[in-house]
């Protein structure tokens, strides 16, 4: 019984450590995406996080963007595991691309 209790506590602590690391990485990715959006739309742009999806080697942050003199739009910010980021509209039209890469749009 004692072994099961100790094992359960270990698993719970390990899970908490992994989610804490993911949360830290998500905050860093969000800060990078907000900086990219401000560079593209201007400093008076409001952003709101809608969702985060992770896939192999890449994180996709879906943001609602409200430029000062524009209408709301959904932006998908993709951040690779190496830290390179790119912006695309919710429809898949590329706005920015990582350094040295050509802008490419993707279809759903």
Report yes or no on 99 lying in a domain. Answer: no
Residue 97 lies in a domain: no
The CATH number of the domain where 15 resides is what? 3.10.450.630
The answer to whether residue 107 is domain-embedded is no
Cβ proximity of 60 and 49 under 8 Å = no
Q: What percentage of the chain has pLDDT greater than the value 70?
A: 70
Would you say residue 106 lies in a domain? no
Tokens representing residue 11 in the block: 């698993």
**Beta bridge mates, 48:** 64
pLDDT above 70 for 56 = yes
Residues spanned by the domain of 42 = 2-89
Residue 45 has pLDDT above 50, yes or no: yes
Q: The pTM is what?
A: 0.70
Interval 13-26: pLDDT, tens: 555 444 444 588 88
Given a cut of 50, whether residue 62 has pLDDT beyond it is: yes
Residue 101 domain-assigned? no
Q: How many domains does the chain have?
A: 1
Q: Is 27 inside a domain boundary?
A: yes
Can you tell me the distance from the alpha carbon of 71 to that of 4, in angstroms, rounded to the nearest whole number? 56
């Amino acid at each position: 019984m004692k072994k099961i209790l100790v094992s359960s506590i270990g698993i719970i602590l390990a899970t908490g450590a992994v989610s804490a690391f993911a949360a830290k990485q998500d905050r860093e990715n969000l800060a990078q995406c907000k900086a990219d959006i401000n560079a593209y739309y201007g400093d008076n742009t409001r952003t709101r996080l809608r969702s985060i999806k992770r896939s192999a080697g890449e994180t996709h942050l879906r943001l609602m963007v409200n430029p000062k003199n524009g209408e709301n739009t959904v932006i998908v910010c993709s951040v690779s595991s190496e830290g390179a980021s790119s912006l695309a509209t919710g429809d898949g039209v590329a706005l920015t691309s990582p350094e040295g890469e050509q802008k490419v749009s993707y279809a759903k």
